[in-house]
Structure 1
C-alpha cells in the first residue's frame, strides 16, 4: 500500500522531471538553441529551460539556463543576429507585456504592449513568431482588445462572441500584431485586419512573412450559425491560407488595414504555412485536411509558388496502404524551419509523422513529392520528432522510447538522401531508475484477425508475472506511439505490464481505417481492445486474473464500455474526463464529434433528435451501467470544455446509488487533459493506489 510519503512516487517524480525538447533553432552554423520543458513538483508548474549546444569536430559543449517564467516565447532571426522575446511580467496587480528584440547582449528594441492587446498566444494552432526578410519587423499573435463602449450600441459589450474552446481559457480574439522597429515606423506595434469593407468572417492567426510587405496567415472560419468549433486536438477545422499585403504607409494609423487574398479553396482545414526562399523564388508549403468529418485524418501537403499563385499537391491522402508501406502523413504541425537543400540544389521538407505505432522522420521532395523514411531501424523502437533544420543538410530531432527518455540527435543528410545520426544529449538518471528502465522491453503485436490493430507492450525482461494495465488512447482518431510518456513508463518501472492498443480508427494506418470507425463506436473499438486483452493473455504476456484498465476522454469511453460489457475481466479501472453518453452534447466545444462518431452528418443546424439520441445511447457505455462490478475511479478537470462534466458525474452517481465501489476526484485548475503538474501526479497516485490495493486483496 502506498503512503502519503510516496506522493508522488520517487520513480514517477524522477521520470516527469526529465526535460522534454519543445523546439530548436540553429543560431549560427554550429550553435543550436533548444527549449525544453520539465515538471517542477515543488512549485507545481512546468518550467522552461534554454539549452545551447556548441558543435565542434569531436565534442559538444552544452550550457543551459532557465528561460525565466516571464518569457512566454522567443525566436532567433534567420541571420542569427537578433533574438525576439515576448515577455509577460507580474510584478504588480496587473500583468505587463513587452516585445523585445535583442542583438547579442544588447536590447535593440523594446515596446510595452500592455495597453495594445491582451495575453500572448503560444499554442501550435494559432500562434507563431516571424521576422521579415529585412529583420526590421516582427509579427506575432495576441488576444485583441475588447472594443470600447459603443455609444450607438449600449448593448455591444453584452453581445455573444464565441471563444476558442478547450485550453484557451475564454480567449476569443486571436489577432496578428506587427512590431516595426525601423526608423521610418518609429517602432510601431499595430494590429492587422482586412482592408476590404465586407471583410471575411475569419480569425487571422499563425502569421509568417513571405516578403517585407506580404504576410501569409491562416484564417479560421466561423460556421453558418456563428459558432467557432473547438480547435485544439482538431485538425478538421475550416481554415484557409491568406496573403495579407501591408499598406505602404502606417504613419498615424491605429490599425494596419491589409489587402487580403485567399490562396486556398473552400472545404479545407489548412495549417503550418511555411515559406521557402530560394533562387529568387518564394514558395509556400502547408498541410491540409478535409474540413469536417473525423477530427484527425490523413493530411495532404501542398506547395504554392507565390509569384505565379499556382498550387500543386506534393503528398496525397493515402487510403489503404500495404502493411509496410508509407501510410500517409499524420503530423500535428511542421517545425518552424523545415527545409533542406541537397548539393544537387533539390529542396526537401523534413517532418515527423505517425507511421503505425511509431513516429518517424520523413524527407519529402518539393520537386516530385517523393517520400523517404530517414528513421534508422533499431531494437529500441524509438519515436522521433523533427525540431528544426539548418536549411542545408542538417536536421535536429528529439528521439525517445517508453524505455528511453528524450535524447537530442543531429542528422546529416547526404546527396543520396541518406542520413547519419549523432547523439548530442542524453539525460542523466539515477542508477536505480536506469536499472528499472534497462529491465523493460518494448514490443509491438499485430492482433490476429483485427487488421490493422496492433498493441504496444512495455514489460519486464526478467519478471514475467505482473499485473497488466490496458490503456486505450483518446481521440478516437489520434493514436499512441512508442514515444517516452512518463505516466506509462512509471507504471512499467514500478511493477506493471502496460498494454497500449492502437484500435481501428486511429492515426498512422491509412484513411480507410480512420473512417472505418464512424458509425461503429462502442462496437468496433471495444471489440478491438478486448481482443487485444485476450491475445496478450493467450500469448502469456499477461494473466487472466491480473487485468486493469485506464483511459481518458474516448479512452475513458472505451474503458467504461469494457467494464460494463465484460464485468468479470478487469479487477479495477480508472477513467479521466470520460465520454459516457454520446447523446449528451450540452456544454461541449465540439458538438460535431458526437454526430460524426455515431455516423450522422453534422450540420450547423443539427440537433439531437429522439431518433439520433436513441442511436447514440445504444453506442454508449451508460447502456451497460447496471452490469458494472469493477472498482472504479473517475477523474474530472473542472475547466473541461470538451466533455460535459455531467457525463462523469452522472456515471459516478448512478454507480454510487447502486452500491458499487466508485470514487470521484475533481481538479479545479485542470481542463480536459488533466495535465497540470499537480493534477497528473494525483491521478497517477490515485490509480496506482487503487490497483495495488485491489491486487493485494
Structure 2
C-alpha cells in the first residue's frame, strides 16, 4: 500500500509559514583562518572566522552575522572542532580584512547620522580594541569606496603599514548658471594657489551624464586606487593609471614596491560588467616610486581574479577572449614575477574527454586559493550540473577533483591557509554546511577527510536527481552534434496513491549560466508545497565544455526552446507527473524561454510566471547595459558604435517571444524591477500590453528600488507568494 502524502498546500498562511521557515537557513559569504597557536601542552589550534547572510522577513532586509569556531589539530588531522560563542550580527560592515599576521583587522563601515547622511569610516582594530577610526567621507579625497565583488578590495600591505582600497574618483563641484554667491576679487596668482578642492564650482555641469558600469554597479564610473598610510592617517590617490582604464581587484606587489590590478577598458564605452567576463581588460602593475604603469598580460584579452602565491613569486588569473558570449570556459594563466614569463596552466576545454573534466567556468577565485607549497591552486567551478573543488598543479598541469567522489551536491572553497581548507557544501534538499579539511600532499589529493563545523540535516520528504537528455536527431546542432544536456529534478518523496505530481519547468537565465545541485530557496520551498521542479541546463549552459556555450548564439528562441520542451516531455513520460498540470517559470533569459514556450506550445503549460524577462531583443538593444548580448545571441558580431540595420533588427525580432504573443493562451504573471538596467522593465510591459489586448489573463507586479535580480528581501518573498498562488489558482 502506497504511503499517503500531502497534496499541494493551497492555504496562503500555511504557504507563508513554510517560506518563512526555509528562508531562515543562512548562506556562507566569507571565512578566514587565524594564525596557528601552539598551546602550553604542545597541541596546535586556530580560530576560524565566518560571515553568514540571512533573510529577516520582519525587517525586510538581509542580515549579516559572524560566528567563530575553534579547531584543534595535530599535523594534518583534526582533533576537535566547535563553535566559539554565539552568532553576532554585523552592523554597517561593508568590507573587512585581517592583516597578514592576524594581529590587526581593517573594517570599512557605513554609518548614517541623525540627518540621514551616510558616511564611510575605515577602522583599524587590534585584538583588544579599536585603534583608529578615519572618516573617509569627511576627508573628501574621493567619492564612495567600492565594496562590490567586481572592483572592490581592502588589502593590507605586506609590511602592515598601509591599506589599499578602490573608490570613486572625486568629481568637481558644480552649480547652475543662476546660482549666486558673494564674489571675491582674485588675482591670477591667488586662483592658482587655491587647492583643487577649494576651486570654484564648474557652472552648467550639474546635469552632465556620467556613464557607469551598469547593472549592480550603478554610480560606479571612474574608480581610483587609494592608499591609506596608517601611521599618518594620510590618503594618497595613485597616479600613473592610464586614463582609458578603470582599475579594480588590486593587491600589493612583492616587497610592497607597487600595486598589481585589473584594468577594464572604458573607452569608447562602458558595457555592463556584472556576470560578463568577456570585457577587454588587462593585468597591470603601477610602480609606487616612479608612477610608471605597465601591462603584464596580453593586449587584447579579458582577464580577472588575479591571486599572488604565498612565496610571492607567481600570479594566477583567469583569461578569456573579448566579445562573444558573456560567460564561458576560461584559461587559468600564470605570470612569473621574476622571470616575467606568462604561461597557460589550464587551457580551454571545447569537448570534455574521458577524464570528464569540462573546463573552468569560475567568475572569481577565492582570495586565498593557493596551497602552502605555492605549487597548487584550488578552484571551485561547475562541472556539468554540480560544482566541484579542483586542485591544479601549476608544474605538472594536472587537474584533480577533491570532491567528485564525495557526497552528491555542490562545493565552494571559502579559504585555504597552511593547507587547511574551509568549504561550504549544500544540495537541493540540504541547506549549506560548513566543512574543514587538510589538503593532502601532491598526488594524494583525493584522500581529503572532511569534518563538519555546523551540522545541517537533509530535509525529509524531498528527493532530487540529475537527468541527462540527448536531443533527437532532428534537433542536434550541425556544428556540435555530439552534445547532450542535463536537468535537476526535485520531487516530493511522498505522493498520494493515484495522484501524480504537478510540475514546474524552470530553465535558467543567462543564457550562459547553469543550475548546480545546491541549496536554492524557491525550488525547495515549492517542492515542500507539493510541486515537482525541473531545473533545466539546456545546450548553451556553462560547465559542459566550450562547444556547449558556442552552440547557442544565433539559435536562441529555437535550440534552447526545443531543449526545454524536450526535457519537459521526457520527464512527463518517465516520472509520475501530472501531464495536465505543467507550469513554467523563468528569470531573464529563462523568462525569454518561458514566454517562447507558452507561445510555441500554447496548449502545454497551465500557467506561467516570469521575472524581468527578455521579450523583444530588437527593442532591448538601445536600452540595456549589455547591447552586445542582443547582437551576439541573435547570431551577429558586435562592434562598438554599431547602428541597427534592417537585417539585424529582423533577426532579433524573429528570435523574440513577442513574435509568438498572438498564440499565447496560458495565464501569465510578470514581475518587474523598476531599476533593472540589464533587462529594462519596458520589456515586460511590452508583453503585458500585448497579452492584455488579446484577452489573455495577465498580472503585473512592479517592484520599486529593485534591479534585475529582484533580490531585496521583501520583493523576493512577495514574488514567491504570488508565483505560488498564481499556479495554485490554475491547478
Q: Structures share a fold, TM > 0.5? A: yes
Match of 2:633 among 597, 606, 610: 597
- SS of residue matched to 1:594: helix
| Cα offset, 1:157, TM superposition | 4.9
Match of 1:612 in 2: 648
Does 1:372 find its partner at 2:395?
A: no
- For residues 151 and 491 of structure 1, do their structure 2 counterparts lie closer, same or farther at Cα, with a shift above 3 Å needed? same
Contact 1:586 1:644 in 2 (8 A): no
Does 1:221 find its partner at 2:257?
A: no
- SS of residue matched to 2:80: coil
- For residues 65 and 141 of structure 1, do their structure 2 counterparts lie closer, same or farther at Cα, with a shift above 3 Å needed? farther
Please list the CA deviations of residues 467-488 of structure 1 after superposition, one character each: whole Å capped at 9, or x if unmatched: 1001100000011111101111
User: Following the alignment from structure 1 to structure 2, what is the Cα–Cα distance between the partners of residues 139 and 296?
Assistant: 29
| Cα offset, 1:65, TM superposition | 3.8
- SS of residue matched to 2:488: strand
- SS of residue matched to 2:507: coil
- SS of residue matched to 2:48: strand
Please list the CA deviations of residues 97-153 of structure 1 after superposition, one character each: whole Å capped at 9, or x if unmatched: 111111102223332111233333222111112111111111112222212458696
Please list the CA deviations of residues 389-433 of structure 1 after superposition, one character each: whole Å capped at 9, or x if unmatched: 01x32211000011000000112121222342333333568xxxx
Match of 2:553 among 503, 507, 518: 518
User: Following the alignment from structure 1 to structure 2, what is the Cα–Cα distance between the partners of residues 614 and 598?
Assistant: 10
Contact 2:172 2:202 in 1 (8 A): no
1:614-633 superposed matches below 5 A: 614-633=650-669
Does 1:426 find its partner at 2:454?
A: yes
User: Following the alignment from structure 1 to structure 2, what is the Cα–Cα distance between the partners of residues 124 and 132?
Assistant: 20
- SS of residue matched to 1:73: strand
Match of 2:434 in 1: 408
Match of 2:227 in 1: 178
- SS of residue matched to 1:339: coil
1:295-334 superposed matches below 5 A: 295-322=326-353, 325-334=356-365
Match of 2:141 among 116, 128, 138: 116
Does 1:539 find its partner at 2:574?
A: yes
| Cα offset, 1:50, TM superposition | 1.0
| Cα offset, 1:67, TM superposition | 4.3
Match of 1:359 among 387, 396, 410: 387
Match of 1:72 among 94, 100, 111: 94
Does 1:551 find its partner at 2:586?
A: yes
Does 1:101 find its partner at 2:124?
A: yes
User: Following the alignment from structure 1 to structure 2, what is the Cα–Cα distance between the partners of residues 246 and 148?
Assistant: 29
Match of 2:247 in 1: 204
Does 1:500 find its partner at 2:500?
A: no
- For residues 105 and 580 of structure 1, do their structure 2 counterparts lie closer, same or farther at Cα, with a shift above 3 Å needed? same
Contact 1:581 1:617 in 2 (8 A): yes
| Cα offset, 1:155, TM superposition | 4.6
Q: Which structure has the larger Rg over C-alpha atoms? A: 2
| Cα offset, 1:228, TM superposition | 0.3
Match of 1:259 among 292, 305, 310: 292
User: Following the alignment from structure 1 to structure 2, what is the Cα–Cα distance between the partners of residues 511 and 63?
Assistant: 47
| Cα offset, 1:284, TM superposition | 1.1
RMSD: 1.9
| Cα offset, 1:265, TM superposition | 1.4
Match of 1:169 in 2: 218
User: Following the alignment from structure 1 to structure 2, what is the Cα–Cα distance between the partners of residues 445 and 491?
Assistant: 19
Please list the CA deviations of residues 345-402 of structure 1 after superposition, one character each: whole Å capped at 9, or x if unmatched: 4621111000000100010112232110000534x52101110001x32211000011
Contact 1:457 1:500 in 2 (8 A): yes
User: Following the alignment from structure 2 to structure 1, what is the Cα–Cα distance between the partners of residues 21 and 205?
Assistant: 51
1:8-47 superposed matches below 5 A: 9-29=16-36, 30-47=46-63
Contact 1:636 1:645 in 2 (8 A): yes
Please list the CA deviations of residues 617-659 of structure 1 after superposition, one character each: whole Å capped at 9, or x if unmatched: 1111111101100011000000000112211001101111111
Does 1:232 find its partner at 2:274?
A: yes
| Cα offset, 1:538, TM superposition | 1.1
| Cα offset, 1:4, TM superposition | 6.0
Match of 2:515 in 1: 480
- For residues 428 and 398 of structure 1, do their structure 2 counterparts lie closer, same or farther at Cα, with a shift above 3 Å needed? closer
Contact 1:381 1:442 in 2 (8 A): no
User: Following the alignment from structure 2 to structure 1, what is the Cα–Cα distance between the partners of residues 344 and 356?
Assistant: 20
| Cα offset, 1:324, TM superposition | 5.6
Please list the CA deviations of residues 664-692 of structure 1 after superposition, one character each: whole Å capped at 9, or x if unmatched: 00000210111110111111100100111
Match of 1:452 in 2: 484
- SS of residue matched to 1:364: strand
| Cα offset, 1:64, TM superposition | 4.0
User: Following the alignment from structure 1 to structure 2, what is the Cα–Cα distance between the partners of residues 220 and 157?
Assistant: 27
- For residues 301 and 573 of structure 1, do their structure 2 counterparts lie closer, same or farther at Cα, with a shift above 3 Å needed? same
Contact 2:81 2:453 in 1 (8 A): no
User: Following the alignment from structure 1 to structure 2, what is the Cα–Cα distance between the partners of residues 463 and 331?
Assistant: 38
Match of 2:408 in 1: 381
- SS of residue matched to 2:70: strand
Contact 2:503 2:533 in 1 (8 A): yes
User: Following the alignment from structure 1 to structure 2, what is the Cα–Cα distance between the partners of residues 58 and 273?
Assistant: 34
Match of 1:245 in 2: 287
Structure 1 residue runs without a partner (length 5+): 249-257
Contact 1:575 1:634 in 2 (8 A): yes
- For residues 428 and 501 of structure 1, do their structure 2 counterparts lie closer, same or farther at Cα, with a shift above 3 Å needed? closer
Contact 1:411 1:419 in 2 (8 A): no
Please list the CA deviations of residues 216-270 of structure 1 after superposition, one character each: whole Å capped at 9, or x if unmatched: 11111024xx31000111111111111111137xxxxxxxxx3211111122111
Match of 1:187 in 2: 233
Match of 2:192 in 1: none
Contact 2:309 2:374 in 1 (8 A): no
How many residue pairs were aligned? 664
Contact 1:70 1:88 in 2 (8 A): yes
User: Following the alignment from structure 2 to structure 1, what is the Cα–Cα distance between the partners of residues 579 and 434?
Assistant: 40
| Cα offset, 1:438, TM superposition | 1.8
